[in-house]
Amino acid sequence: MAVKATWLGHSAVLIEDGATHILIDPYLTDNPMASAKPGDLEADLVLLTHDHADHLGDTEHFLKQGATFVGVFETAMRYANQGYAVEPMNTGGSIETKGVRIHMVEAVHSYGEGVAAGFIVETGGRQIYHAGDTSLTMNMQILNEFFDIDLAFVPIGDRFTMGADSAAAAVEWCGAKKATPIHYGTWPLIEGDPRRFAELIGGRAAVLKPGESVEV
């Protein structure tokens, strides 16, 4: 089964397997790159890499519509206390919910509560890695030993995350068959260089414009 992944702008990604809509880091409102508004989308699961405003975004909108929140324990409990459905996790852990298997993996980044993280989503026989906001870390090499990643979404904006060169190394280390750059171009401070990224990883690059999709 083909799985469709759409870059919505900044770090927001929508994964659709034909049955389940998985929305990661739904920063849409006030996002100058957003290709959709919250009301344009459906979500069964909302995965949050960390609660900085440019990732948290419209999370609560989708929870009010009935989506289940998946994220680090401390943030999940905050939403649970408001009456929303949650699946709390922490790095190194895995869950299965709504027919989707989700692994929370390490990301190295500042965070208000708990830890920052990335996710590997297994659905429709495919594995999709969203690295979240992170620096390059040697632990990305471990992912290649445990997973067979079909598509990776990696930040290239530099300054607050990896830049193009380190993101290309991350793709090599984790063994992703395809990779899409994210978290760049939203503001001048994170302009990023998608052409440099594509040059470094060659035919594995799937450089998208906000609203464009790739199937794996």
Asked if residue 215 is part of any domain, the answer here is: no
Distance CA 134, CA 200 (A): 19
Contact indicator for 106, 91 with CB cutoff of 8 Å: yes
How far apart CA 15 and CA 151 sit, in angstroms, is 11
Question: Residue 112: what pLDDT?
Answer: 74
Per-residue pLDDT, 154: 99
Report CA Rg, the chain: 15
State residue 201's pLDDT score.
98
In a domain, 214, yes or no: no
The pLDDT of residue 128 is 98
Q: Which residues contact 27 (CB under 8 A, 6 or more apart)?
A: 10, 11, 12, 34, 53, 54, 55, 56, 57, 58
Instruction: Please report whether residue 113 resides in a domain.
Output: yes
Q: Quote the pLDDT of residue 138.
A: 96
Q: What would the pLDDT profile of 18-71 be if each residue is shown by its tens digit?
A: 999 999 999 999 999 999 999 999 999 999 999 999 999 999 999 999 999 999
Residue ranges in the chain whose pLDDT is less than 50: none
Chain-centre distance of CA 190, in angstroms? Answer: 17
* Residue 203 belongs to domain with CATH number: 3.60.15.10
Query: Residue 198 has what pLDDT?
Result: 98
* Domain extent for 28: 4-209
Provide the domain count of the chain: 1
In a domain, 45, yes or no: yes
Q: Is residue 33 part of a domain?
A: yes
